[in-house]
Structure 1
Amino acid sequence: MGSKVAVLGAGSWGTALALVLADNGHDVSLWSHRVELAEQITQHNENKQYLLGVTLSENIVPTSSLDEAVHNSDAVLVVVPTKAIRSVCQQMKSLLRQDQLIIHASKGIEPSSNKRISEMMTEELGEDIGGNIVVLSGPSHAEEVGMRQPTTVTVSSLNQECTIAAQDLFMNDKFRVYTNQDLIGVEIGGALKNIIALGAGISDGLGYGDNAKAALITRGLAEMAKLGKTLNANPLTFAGLTGVGDLIVTCTSQHSRNWRAGNMLGKGYDLDDVLEQMGMVVEGVRTTEAVYQMAQKYHVDMPITSGLYELIVHEKDPKRVVDDLMNRGKTDEIEHLT
């Protein structure tokens, strides 16, 4: 018998995960804070704004009522932008029960506080619930998940029983789910890959070739691992799906909104114009600011992140950012990682 699942966030990723859950026989309430979006999805049986061309299952019921979505659900899946996490958690706190499985599939770091998403949720929902939060992350374009193309992701929690429950909820023959006990590493990898994807897009926008992008991805992975190690993550996590896996898919595909945003920046577009034209949240922009702050706080050398911070915050010319990276002082490739 299927479960009842509330999916909070009717963007492309929330809609795609709702489809996975419906395919597994679960009854899904797909919540949007925008009444007009919920009505549009109901009318067309399709999320034309965020996941065009994918027909939704009859098991998916759109709603703009948070109470209706969360009430009597067995699990709550939060898939909203990082900047909306606290607000959504505050709204749903009084609606939750202790026995509900709480999962998030968002990727980012909060500027100023430098909190990971599970930490933000724990602050808003309380320690009793926070210790059981599960993160779902990995190389997974919503468009491909919506088309039922083979996809693999990872789930992680401080509570192993909750991790297994989330794995069981999502696992099927098109959506393979692994477990990983390293919650910090899984969240750090999912957040930081968006920064490097911005850089990869900028490199492509400038007209640089595969050599430059391969270097950017590889050295970007090194930055992810350095910060992760400082925060007590397992270095092996960054060799897995939520590290190098998510990095590859986000840096090399035009499905990636972070790559697309970076590509436009590399071609000379103004950041405000880029964000307006994207029409969706570009998490890498906000995360760059947060991770730059973390690098300063923990004294971690992250030249790619720092260069992108200068570009985004101080409007430094993209080509100058690349030139400065290439002209840094000599160093050893491996020594500073140990």
Structure 2
Amino acid sequence: MKIAILGAGAFGTALGGILADKGYDIDYYDSRLERESLSDVVASAEYVVLCVPSKAAPHVLPYLPKDKPLIVATKGILSDKAFISFDDYMVLSGPGFADDIKAAKKTKLTATDERIEGLFGTGYLTFDRTDDRLGVLMCGALKNVYAILAGLLNLVPGTKKHENFLKAVEEEMRALLLANGAEPKTVELVCGKGDLRLTCALPSRNYEFGLLLSRDPDARPEKTVEGISALKRVKRGEIKVPQTAKKLRELMEMSGRWA
């Protein structure tokens, strides 16, 4: 069986490595490389895995076949509106660094369909499950935004202030999911609490960028920081932000120069 992976970055190649080891035929698409066209890569694939950066996803989705199963592994997408036209899509997310997956370290992710478990499940990669595709998408985007704030506030992992911050953010995320039609309980899964904890600490780029901002308000990231793109979409009104989401609203007010 052939599987097309769109995005040949660290996470895409980590997932591709699992599939290749299990005997699947893998074909990558990377817009930075002059190789096959996107249509050529997906034409004969039975599954399509989306691993491009979130800001690139809107440019890729219009060219994908709507009748093939789509696995969304891109983090940073706040809304499910872009996937309404797809006959069959599922979401894969959670606290997994690409290097850990490549090194076969024990990792747990969240899957919204048992087919994901069948494709990617190994002795070291396991899953918890939910049918809440929107909630998993939102968790994958919001945790990056809050990680910037954790760094900006100079919160040190393991301290009481850091733990209190995480608890407050989890409550905000539940309110945000509820306000937008997702399931608040999805925050309890590894795509929520687990990924939030992982991202609000080094070596997360989002947390690192927040630390940089705490020292230099005019700082700009040298690498992709997904939380910036997600926050921009929040500020554009892509999701409803309840009044109780005080920390998110605080960051929105602080981010005038960079988001």
Matches of 2:159 and 2:13, distance apart in 1? 33
> What letter is aligned with 1:104?
V
Contact 2:173 2:184 in 1 (8 A): no
Between structure 1 and structure 2, the one with the greater Rg is: 1
Matches of 2:66 and 2:233, distance apart in 1? 32
Contact 1:152 1:176 in 2 (8 A): yes
Contact 1:200 1:262 in 2 (8 A): yes
Contact 2:179 2:242 in 1 (8 A): no
Matches of 1:225 and 1:232, distance apart in 2? 11
Q: Which residue of 1 aligns with 2:70?
A: 102
Matches of 1:20 and 1:239, distance apart in 2? 26
Could you tell me how far 1:252 is from its partner in structure 2?
A: 2.3
Structure of greater relative contact order (alpha carbons < 8 Å, 6+ residues apart): 2
1:313 is the counterpart of 2:256: yes
Matches of 2:256 and 2:26, distance apart in 1? 40
Percent sequence identity over matched residues? 31
Q: Which residue of 2 aligns with 1:141?
A: 97
In proportion to residue count, which structure has more helix? Answer: 1
Contact 1:104 1:134 in 2 (8 A): yes
Matches of 1:185 and 1:237, distance apart in 2? 6
1:73 is the counterpart of 2:45: yes
Contact 1:201 1:262 in 2 (8 A): yes
- When residues 147 and 209 of structure 1 are mapped into structure 2, their CA distance, relative to the original with a 3 A threshold, is closer
Aligned residues: 259
Matches of 1:258 and 1:191, distance apart in 2? 11
Give the root-mean-square deviation of aligned CA atoms.
2.5
Q: For 2:256, what is the secondary structure of its paired residue?
A: helix
- Partner of residue 163 from structure 2, selected from 214, 221, 224: 214
> What letter is aligned with 2:116?
A
Matches of 2:50 and 2:211, distance apart in 1? 29
Q: How does 1:1-338 map to 2 (within 5 A)?
A: 3-35=1-33, 63-92=35-64, 96=65, 98=67, 100-109=68-77, 116=79, 118-122=80-84, 126=85, 130-156=86-112, 163-204=113-154, 210-254=159-203, 256-268=204-216, 270-272=218-220, 275=221, 277-278=222-223, 281-294=224-237, 297=240, 299-314=242-257
Structure 1: tracts of 5 or more residues without a match: 37-62, 110-114, 157-162, 317-338
Deviations 1:63-114 (A, max 9, x none): 543233212111000111222112111233xxx373x3211111224xxxxx
Contact 1:4 1:72 in 2 (8 A): yes
Contact 1:107 1:190 in 2 (8 A): yes
Q: What TM-score do you get using the length of structure 2 for normalisation?
A: 0.90
Structure 2: tracts of 5 or more residues without a match: none
Matches of 2:7 and 2:253, distance apart in 1? 31
Name the stretch that deviates more: 291-300 or 27-36: 291-300
The runs of 4+ residues in structure 1 deviating greater than 4 Å are: 206-209, 292-298
> What letter is aligned with 1:72?
S
- When residues 27 and 198 of structure 1 are mapped into structure 2, their CA distance, relative to the original with a 3 A threshold, is same
Contact 2:4 2:49 in 1 (8 A): yes
Q: For 1:82, what is the secondary structure of its paired residue?
A: coil
Q: What TM-score do you get using the length of structure 1 for normalisation?
A: 0.70
- When residues 146 and 243 of structure 1 are mapped into structure 2, their CA distance, relative to the original with a 3 A threshold, is same
> What letter is aligned with 1:287?
A
